[in-house]
C-alpha cells in the first residue's frame, strides 16, 4: 500500500471537555497524549479502523506518576497491559500489530534508564520487520533541577543525551517532548510514520518525567477524531510497460513473495498473475502463507532457509520479480542463489529503499494494484513462461521430501522435524496461528510448514530476535482471541525471554508454548561445526573441572515445571506418542500451556541447495577452519557484487 495523505480528517470531540473555553482543553501532557492516541483511526480501501488498541508497559518512577496517572484515570479508555520485561512487552505489542497486518497497533511505555534500554532490542526488531510500534520511554527531567536523578545516564561530553538516544539508531522516527506543547508536532509526525507502509517501524517519543505531568491548554483540534488515509500507490503506465517488456523477454521468470504482498492484501492478485503466465513463486518468512502451501505455483520458502523446490528453480531463473521484500541475505543466499549469468531483477515495493536493491529495476508502487495491472496488461496477451512441467515436478519432489521428514522415526525418541510434522499435519487446527522467531525452528518452518489458512504463519526473522516467540504469541492472541495461538520455541530462546508467559496467565489468554529442547544453541552449534570449528560454548553443559571448559556433564532442565511455577499448565513429551497426547491435552485447556518436548540434537532439516556467507577465519591452527575459509572464497566468487 502507498503512503498516507498529508492531512487527516478531523472530527470535533464531544462536549465533555474542560478548560476556560471550548477552543482548548487544559490537560497534562500525558493525559493529552492518551486522548490523542484514543482518537486515531486509519482508513484502508474504504474501511475505517481504530488504530491504537492499548498500552503495554512496566511502571517505574520515570513514568508511573505522569503517564501512569493518565492511564489509571477513570476516563482513560485505552487498556493497560502489565508487562514483566520491557523487551517482552514490546515484542507483544509487535506481535499484535503484525497479526493485525499492521492495521492496529499498541504503544509501549517504561521508566527511564534500564527500563527504556530494555526496549531498544525490540525497537530494532520492529524496524527491521517494518512493523509499527509506538515506544514511549520515560526520560530524565527536562528542567534539570534535580539532576542527576535515579537511573539517569550522564555523559560529560553531551548533557542533552540520555539513555533514550540509544533508540535513534533503531527508530524510523525519534523525538523528545521537552515542553508540553511539543507533544502536538511530535505525535503528528509519529502518526505520519507509523501509518506509512513504506516508512513504518519503531517510532520513539521520549517523555521527560517532569513534562509528563505539566499542564497545557491543548487545542480541541489536536484531540479530535483523526482519520489517516492509507492510499495505495498506483503504478504508472510507464512502470507497467517496463515490467511487461522485461517479462515478455523472459523465459523463466520467478516471483519472490515478500511481506509486502501480505500487508497489501495482494494474495488473490498474486495467484491470478502466476496462474495466468505460468510463473512459480517462492516465499520469504514474512510472505509465507499469503497463499496456501498447495497452490500449484507455490515453491515454499526461498534462500538459505528455503526449500529444495524453490532453490533449484531459482538457480535457473532469468528474471526475478521481487514483490514486497527487502531482499535480505537469507532470501538471496548472500546474493549467490540466482546463478543464471543473464538473470535480471525487478522489484515492486512501496519503499524505494528496498526497490533499488540487487541492482533491480525499481517499481515503487503498491503490490496489489501492480499485480492486478499486469494480469490485465494487453502487452502480455498470449504470454506464458517456458518453465513447462518443471514447476509441478519440483513441487512433487519437495512434497515427497516433506512427507519423509514428517513421518521419519527417530531412534532416540522425537526429532524436531517430526514434531513440526505432527503439529502441522495431525494435531493443530487448520487456522491455528503458529509463532516463532529464532534459531533452527524458523529455518525448518520456512521450508516445510504447510500453511492452510490465511494469517496462520507468524514469523519474526528479519532480526532473528531470540525471545520474540512467547511475547509475540501473547500479542497475536490479543489480536485474534478466537484462534489457537502456538509459540514454537527452542530451549535457548525460551531461557532468554519467557516472562510474558506470566502476563498471559494474568490476562487469562490461552497460548500454547511448545519448547523444542535439544539442550543448547544448536542452530549456532551447526554453523560452528560447518566451518570446521570444534563444538564450543553452544551446548548446555557444566564446566569440566579437568579441562576448564564447558564440555562437562549435560545440564537438564524441566521446562514444564518452570511453566507450572508461573501458573501455566506444564506437560512433557519424549516420544511421538507422548507428544501427541500432550498437544491434544493442551488444546483442551483454557489457559496457557507449556509443552516440554525433548527433541534429539541435530534433528532439524538441512540446507537444500543453499549457501550463506559467514566470516570464517582465514588463518587458524585448525586445518578444518582453513579449509572451510577456502571453500567460502569459492562460493563468494559466484555471488553477485551488489
Instruction: Give the pLDDT band of residue 5 (cuts 50, 70, 90).
Output: very low
- Please say if the pLDDT value at position 244 is more than 50: yes
Range with lowest mean pLDDT among 272-276, 513-517, 538-542: 538-542
On whether both 336 and 471 belong to a single domain, the answer is: no
Q: 497524549: which residue's cell?
A: 33
Q: Which of 198, 202, 233, 191 is nearest to 10 (CA)?
A: 191
The rounded distance, in Å, linking the Cα atoms of 185 and 188 is: 5
Domain that holds residue 427: 409-519+556-598
Interatomic CA distance for residues 562 and 560, integer angstroms: 5
Q: What is the count of structural domains for the chain?
A: 3
Of 340, 363, 394, the residue that ends a domain is 394
- Ramachandran quadrant class, 566 (left: phi over 0; alpha: psi -120 to 50; beta: rest): alpha
pLDDT for residue 195 is more than 70: yes
pLDDT band at 9 (very low <50, low <70, confident <90, very high): low
- For residue 40, being part of any structural domain is answered with yes
Q: Is residue 609 part of a domain?
A: no
Mean pLDDT over all residues of the chain?
A: 95
Position 633 in a domain:
no
Whether 190 and 73 map to the same domain: the answer is yes
Q: Nine-digit cell at 275?
A: 496462474
Kindly state whether residues 326 and 260 are assigned to the same domain.
yes
pLDDT at 10: 60
Per-residue cell: 311: 532453490
pLDDT one-digit tens code per residue, 54-110 = 999 999 999 999 999 999 999 999 999 999 999 999 999 999 999 999 999 999 999
Q: Which of 369, 394, 419 is the last residue of a domain?
A: 394
Classified as helix, coil or strand, 6 is coil
Residues 6+ apart with CB under 8 A from 590: 510
Q: Tell me, rounded to whole angstroms, the distance of Cα 616 from its chain centroid.
A: 28
Q: CA-to-CA distance for 363 and 349, rounded, in angstroms? A: 6
466, 382: one domain: no
Beta bridge partners of 321: 255, 346
Alpha-carbon gap, residue 515 to 530, rounded angstroms: 25
Instruction: Determine whether 355 is exposed, middle or buried from the number of CB atoms within 10 Å of its CB (0-12, 13-18, 19+).
Output: buried
State the pLDDT at residue 525. 87
Q: Name beta bridge partners: 40.
A: 226
At 254 the three-state DSSP class reads strand
d(CA 266, CA 320): 18
Examine the domain organization and report whether 259 and 380 are in the same domain.
yes
Per-residue pLDDT tens digits for 378-427: 999 999 999 999 999 999 999 999 999 999 999 999 999 999 999 999 99
In this structure, are 249 and 211 located in the same domain?
no
Q: Is the confidence at residue 542, as pLDDT, over 70?
A: yes
3-state SS, residue 515? strand
- Give the residue-averaged pLDDT of 483-491: 98
Residues 258 and 198 in one domain: no
13 pLDDT more than 70: no
Q: Does the pLDDT value for residue 2 go beyond 50?
A: no
Res. 6: pLDDT tops 70? no
Q: Is residue 628 part of a domain?
A: no
| Domain final residue, candidates 229, 248, 276 | 229
Residue pair 146/68 in contact (Cβ under 8 Å)? The answer is: no
Q: What is the pLDDT of residues 274-329, one digit of tens each?
A: 999 999 999 999 999 999 999 999 999 999 999 999 999 999 999 999 999 999 99
Helix (H) / strand (E) containing 458: strand 457-459
pLDDT at 1: 46
Give the Cα separation of 284 and 259 in Å (integer).
7
637 closest CA partner among 272, 247, 334: 334
Report in angstroms the alpha-carbon separations of 191 from 89, 130, 170, 182.
21, 14, 17, 15
**Least confident residue range of 10-14, 173-177, 249-253:** 10-14
Domain CATH number, residue 353? 3.40.50.1220
Start-to-end CA distance of the chain, whole Å, equals 27
Q: Domain with 490 in it: what CATH number?
A: 3.40.50.970
Helix (H, G, I), strand (E, B) or coil at 382: coil
* Whole-angstrom distance, CA of residue 300 vs CA of residue 280: 10
**Burial, 490: exposed, middle or buried (Cβ in 10 Å; 0-12, 13-18, 19+)?**
buried
Residues 425-451: pLDDT tens digits?
999 999 999 999 999 999 999 999 999
User: Cα–Cα distance between 368 and 171 in angstroms, integer?
Assistant: 27
The answer to the question of residue 631 being in a domain is no
Please indicate, yes or no, if residue 527 is contained in any of the structural domains.
Answer: no
Phi and psi angles of residue 388, each rounded to the nearest 5 degrees, phi first: 55, -130
**Residue 610: inside a domain:** no
- pLDDT tens-digit profile of 213-223? 999 999 999 99
Whether 51 and 194 share a structural domain: yes
Domain shared by 176 and 248, yes or no: no
- Rounded CA gap, 507 and 475, in Å? 11
Q: What is the pLDDT of residues 319-358, one digit of tens each?
A: 999 999 999 999 999 999 999 999 999 999 999 999 999 9
Residue 340 domain flag? yes
Side-by-side strand order, sheet with 253-257: 298-301, 281-283, 253-257, 319-323, 344-349, 361-364
Alpha helices in 480-546 (DSSP H): 491-496, 500-507, 522-530
Average pLDDT of span 595-613:
94
In this structure, are 249 and 204 located in the same domain? no
Does residue 194 share a domain with residue 175? yes
User: Could you tell me if 388 and 243 lie in one domain?
Assistant: yes
Amino acid at each position: 500500500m502507498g503512503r498516507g495523505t498529508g492531512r487527516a480528517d478531523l472530527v470535533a470531540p464531544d462536549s465533555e471537555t474542560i478548560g476556560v473555553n471550548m477552543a482548548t482543553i487544559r490537560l497534562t501532557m500525558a493525559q493529552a497524549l492518551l486522548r490523542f492516541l484514543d482518537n486515531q483511526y486509519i482508513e484502508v480501501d474504504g474501511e475505517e479502523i481504530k488504530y491504537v488498541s492499548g498500552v503495554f508497559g512496566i511502571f517505574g518512577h520515570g513514568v508511573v506518576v505522569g503517564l501512569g496517572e493518565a492511564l489509571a484515570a477513570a476516563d482513560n479508555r485505552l487498556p493497560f497491559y502489565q508487562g514483566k520485561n520491557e523487551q517482552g512487552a514490546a515484542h507483544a505489542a509487535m506481535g499484535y500489530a503484525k497479526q493485525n497486518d499492521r492495521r492496529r497497533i499498541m504503544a509501549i511505555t517504561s521508566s527511564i534508564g534500564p527500563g527504556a534500554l530494555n526496549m531498544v532490542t525490540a525497537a530494532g526488531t520492529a524496524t527491521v520487520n517494518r512493523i509499527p510500534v509506538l515506544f514511549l520511554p520515560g526520560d530524565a527531567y527536562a528542567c534539570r533541577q534535580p539532576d542527576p536523578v535515579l537511573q539517569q545516564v550522564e555523559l560529560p561530553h553531551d548533557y542533552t543525551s540520555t539513555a533514550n538516544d540509544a533508540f535513534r539508531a533503531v527508530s524510523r522516527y525519534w523525538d523528545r517532548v521537552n515542553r508540553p506543547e511539543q507533544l502536538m508536532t511530535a505525535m503528528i509526525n509519529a502518526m505520519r510514520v507509523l501509518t506509512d507502509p513504506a516508512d513504518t517501524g519503531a517510532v520513539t517519543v521520549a517523555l521527560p518525567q517532569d513534562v509528563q505531568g505539566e499542564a497545557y491548554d491543548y487545542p480541541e483540534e489536536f484531540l479530535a477524531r483523526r482519520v489517516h488515509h492509507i492510499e495505495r500507490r498506483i503504478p504508472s503506465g510507464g512502470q507497467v510497460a517496463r515490467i511487461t517488456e522485461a517479462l515478455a523477454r523472459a523465459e523463466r521468470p520467478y516471483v519472490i513473495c515478500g511481506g509486502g504482498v501480505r500487508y497489501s492484501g495482494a494474495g488473490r492478485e498474486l495467484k491470478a498473475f502466476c496462474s495466468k503466465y505460468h510463473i512459480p513463486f517462492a516465499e520469504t518468512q514474512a510472505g509465507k502463507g499469503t497463499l496456501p502451501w498447495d497452490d500449484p505455483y507455490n515453491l515454499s520458502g526461498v534462500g538459505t532457509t528455503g526449500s529444495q523446490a524453490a532453490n533449484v528453480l531459482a538457480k535457473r531463473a532469468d528474471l526475478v520479480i521481487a514483490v514486497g521484500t527487502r531482499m535480505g541475505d537469507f532470501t538471496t543466499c548472500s546474493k549467490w542463489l540466482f546463478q543464471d549469468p543473464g538473470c535480471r531483477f525487478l522489484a515492486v515495493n512501496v519503499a524505494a529503499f528496498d526497490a533499488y536493491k540487487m541492482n533491480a529495476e525499481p517499481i515503487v508502487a503498491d503490490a496489489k494494484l501492480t499485480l492486478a495491472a499486469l494480469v490485465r496488461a494487453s502487452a502480455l496477451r498470449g504470454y506464458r513462461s517456458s518453465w513447462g512441467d518443471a514447476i509441478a515436478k519440483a513441487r512433487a519432489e519437495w512434497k515427497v521430501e516433506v512427507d519423509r521428514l514428517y513421518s521419519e522415526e527417530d531412534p532416540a525418541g522425537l526429532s524436531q522435524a517430526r514434531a513440526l510434522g505432527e503439529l502441522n499435519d495431525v494435531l493443530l487446527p487448520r487456522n491455528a496461528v503458529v509463532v516463532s522467531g529464532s534459531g533452527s525452528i524458523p529455518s525448518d518452518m520456512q521450508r516445510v510448514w504447510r500453511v492452510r489458512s490465511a494469517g496462520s504463519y507468524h514469523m519474526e526473522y528479519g532480526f532473528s530476535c531470540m525471545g520474540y516467540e512467547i511475547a509475540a504469541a501473547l500479542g497475536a492472541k490479543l489480536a485474534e482471541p478466537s484462534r489457537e495461538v502456538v509459540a514454537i520455541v527452542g530451549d535457548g530462546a525460551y531461557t532468554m525471554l519467557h516472562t510474558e508467559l506470566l502476563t498471559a496467565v494474568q490476562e487469562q489468554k490461552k497460548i500454547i508454548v511448545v519448547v523444542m529442547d535439544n539442550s543448547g544453541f544448536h542452530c549456532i552449534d551447526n554453523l560452528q561445526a560447518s566451518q570446521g570449528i570444534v563444538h564450543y560454548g553452544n551446548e548446555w553443559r557444566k564446566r569440566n573441572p579437568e579441562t576448564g571448559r564447558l564440555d562437562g556433564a549435560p545440564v537438564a532442565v524441566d521446562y514444564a515445571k518452570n511453566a507450572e511455577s508461573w501458573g501455566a499448565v506444564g506437560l512433557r513429551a519424549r516420544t511421538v506418542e507422548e507428544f501427541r497426547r500432550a498437544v491434544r491435552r493442551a488444546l483442551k485447556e483454557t489457559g496457557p500451556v507449556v509443552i516440554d518436548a525433548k527433541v534429539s540434537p541435530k534433528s532439524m532439516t538441512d540446507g537444500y541447495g543453499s549457501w550463506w556467507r559467514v566470516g570464517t577465519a582465514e588463518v587458524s591452527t585448525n586445518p578444518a577452519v582453513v579449509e572451510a575459509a577456502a571453500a567460502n572464497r569459492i562460493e563468494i566468487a559466484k555471488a553477485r557484487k551488489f
